[in-house]
Amino acid sequence: MASVAFVLIAALAVGSALGLVLKRNAIHGALFLVVNLASVAALYLMLGAEFLAAAQVIVYAGAIMVLFVFAIMVLIPGKEETGPDPRRPWRLVAVPVGALLGVQLLVVVRALRGGAPAGAQPVPGSVEALARLLFTQYLFPFELTSVLLLAAMVGVLLLARRRT
């Protein structure tokens, strides 16, 4: 059951990633990216990393994608973006880079074939475990972030407000 779900989600992730790269229309590409990010979030959920999955959806599929779509719509692609790519020869660089990444992937897969490395324990990724750390050991940095957010908010208001 789990493996069927995994294959489905993985296929969705790979398919949407391909769609992102192959689509010429920037908005379509952005929407494919949303699907890709969401399916990766589903994979995180299957691994028991609930918090990471939620953060992936909220931060990446939510906030960052909205920003992307805004940027694409505001800067409507002109001829330069849709016409033939002036840097076409540079695409050859993709071959060695891709080969390098492929080799890395092979090495990692081979290393993991015999199961998880010794000494590795499943890390509790639940919201509860995270909250416990956040409100005990890391309480001070957490509180400090509130000052950081206040400063960022004041800064945004200062820069974005039209007239005082």
Partner 1 sequence: MPTPDIVRALLLELGLAALLLLVFAANLGLRGADRRVVGWIATGGVLVLGFTSFLVAPAPAALGGMFVQDGLAIFAKRLFLGATLIGLLASLGEPEVAFARRAGEYHLLLLSSLLGMLVLASARDVILLFVAFELMSIPLYVLAGFLKRRDEAVEAALKFFLVGSVSSAVMAYGLSFVYGAARSTDLAKVAQAAASGQPLVTLGLLAAFAGFAFKIAAFPFHMWVPDTYEAASTPFVAWLSVAPKAAGFVALFRVYFEGAGERAAAWIPVAAGLATLTIVAGNLMALPQQNTKRLLAYSGIAHIGYMLVGFAAASASGVAMVLFYLVAYVFGNMGAFLVVEAVARTEGSESTAALRGLAQRSPLLALAMLLFLLSLGGVPFVAGFWAKLYVFWAAATVGLYWLVLLGAVLTVVALFYYLLVAKRMYIEPPERTGRVRLSPTLAAAVLLCVAGVLVLGVYPKPLVMAALRVAAPLF
CA distances from 81 to 20, 54, 69, 87 (A): 16, 34, 16, 12
Euclidean distance between CA atoms 149 and 143, whole angstroms: 10
> At 143, is the secondary structure helix, strand, or coil?
helix
Euclidean distance between CA atoms 22 and 29, whole angstroms: 8
Q: How many residues bind partner 1 (CB under 8 A)?
A: 18
Compare residues 88 and 162 and give the one whose CB is closer to partner 1: 162
Contact status, residue 9 vs residue 36, Cβ threshold 8 Å: no
* Min CB(67)–partner 1 separation in Å: 14
Compare residues 82 and 137 and give the one whose CB is closer to partner 1: 137
- Scan residues 141-160 and list those touching partner 1 (CB under 8 A): 141, 144-145, 147-148, 150-152, 154-155, 157-159
Q: Quote the Cα angle for 95-97-102, to 5°.
A: 90
Euclidean distance between CA atoms 52 and 5, whole angstroms: 19
* Min CB(20)–partner 1 separation in Å: 22
Compare residues 78 and 119 and give the one whose CB is closer to partner 1: 119
Euclidean distance between CA atoms 118 and 47, whole angstroms: 19
Compare residues 104 and 137 and give the one whose CB is closer to partner 1: 137
Site string for partner 1, 103-142 (x = CB under 8 A): ----------------------------------xxxxx-
Question: Which residues of this protein are in contact with partner 1, per CB under 8 A?
Answer: 137-141, 144-145, 147-148, 150-152, 154-155, 157-159, 164
